[in-house]
Structures are given as C-alpha cells and as structure tokens.
Amino acid sequence: MSKAIIFTGGGAPSRLPDDLLETGDMVIAADSGYEAAKALGIPVSLCLGDFDSTRLFSEIRHLNHEKSLSDKDESDTELALRKASSLGFSNYILVGGGGFRMDHLFSTYSLFDQYGPPSAWYTTYESLFLVGTFHRFEILNPPQTVSFIPASFTKEVRVTAKQLQWPLSHYALSMATISLSNRAESPVLDVFTSGEGKLFVCFPVADKLS
C-alpha cells in the first residue's frame, strides 16, 4: 500500500532505512522539512507551509509547493497531514519533529488523535514503530533498550511483551504510565496490544531503524 512520507522541521535523523521510499509513495516536506529530505537524498513531491523556518525557499519556490499564510491556526506539520489525508493516504511515516522546541513536539503529538498516528516516526535520537494489535520485532541486539509510549494523549492501551528484563503483561499504558528504558533479552520481541489505543515501541536510533 502506498504511503505518505512527511518530513517536518526539527530533530531529523542522519539516515533512514534503505527501503523506506517505495513506488507510489508521496513525499511531503513541511517547511524546513525540505532541508532534512534534501540532506538525506529523498526527492520531494510537494513542499508546503509558511516557509518561515527554511533557509532554502529560493529552491522551494521553483518546486511544486503550496505557501500558506504566516498567521494561521495550523502548524506546518498539520497542513502536511491534512494534505496527505485529502489525497487518500491513510498510512504515513513521519520524519523529524523530535527536537528543538517542546511546544512543537507536543503539538505534533496532539495531531495523532485527529489524523491517526504514523506507522513509523524517525527522529535524531530514536526510531518509533506503531503497534496496533501485534508486531514481532526481529534481529534485536540484547540487552537493547526499548520503551513503550502510547500513540495518543487520550487513549489507553494495554501491552504484553514478555521477552524483556521486566516483562509486561496487560500493562495499562497511558501518558501517566509510560514504560521507559526496559531491555530486550532476546533477538525477537513480540508485542501484543489490546484496548482502544495504539502504542509506539521506541528504540534509540543507533539500535534499530526498521
């Protein structure tokens, strides 16, 4: 299934999985997300935003772009998510948005209740992977650090993951009960979830990219 890959400003990784971009995918750069995409050698299909953060608008203006007003209610990331949704992309990957401004980070996270969370989120410091019902993570490097974070500010999810130093069994995960810095004890980690919400399994970026 084709997906949108959305580059946003702040805290982008220095590399991405080699097979991230596939035929039929659409790459959208929100403002300075264009700089991250360019640095990673990813061709951009559409640039959008008010372009108040990028240093490369002289390039962007010659590309397919949509310029918004500077005074607006939406963040540039929300404009990108809205655009992807309007084009029929229900699955998206988020690149960047993991640092520099706490208000932007929380604003981005709040969008997941409205537009759905990304299937993967790559930042400078971590790689996060969405789990809805079940996912098997393979080729881990024990004792690999792993954290479990709800993919919503408002929805609780229960998680079971046994191959850990501190096993989780129907653990009620919410913003009040985030599970930080556990350790995988096996090259394979099976993660099961139940409940209304979904969760991110978070690995330090040096440990896992896919």
Asked which of 8-17, 65-74, 118-127 is least confident by mean pLDDT, the reply is 65-74
Does 128-204 match 4-124 at the fold level? no
What is the C-alpha separation between 23 and 2, in angstroms, rounded?
7
pLDDT, tens digit, 9 for 90 and up, residues 20-39: 999 999 999 998 899 999 99
Q: Which CATH number fits domain 128-204: 2.60.120.320, 2.40.40.20, 3.30.460.80, 2.60.40.10?
A: 2.60.120.320
Q: Which CATH number fits domain 4-124: 3.30.70.330, 3.40.50.10240, 3.30.413.10, 3.20.20.140?
A: 3.40.50.10240
Domain ranges in the chain are 4-124, 128-204
Closest CA to 46 of 7, 75, 72: 7
Q: What is the pTM of this model?
A: 0.92
8 A C-beta contact, residue 112 and residue 157: no
What is the C-alpha separation between 46 and 63, in angstroms, rounded?
8
Query: Structure tokens of 65?
Result: 């772009």
What is the C-alpha separation between 141 and 23, in angstroms, rounded?
31
pLDDT at 71: 73
What is the C-alpha separation between 198 and 186, in angstroms, rounded?
23
- Residue 206 identity: A
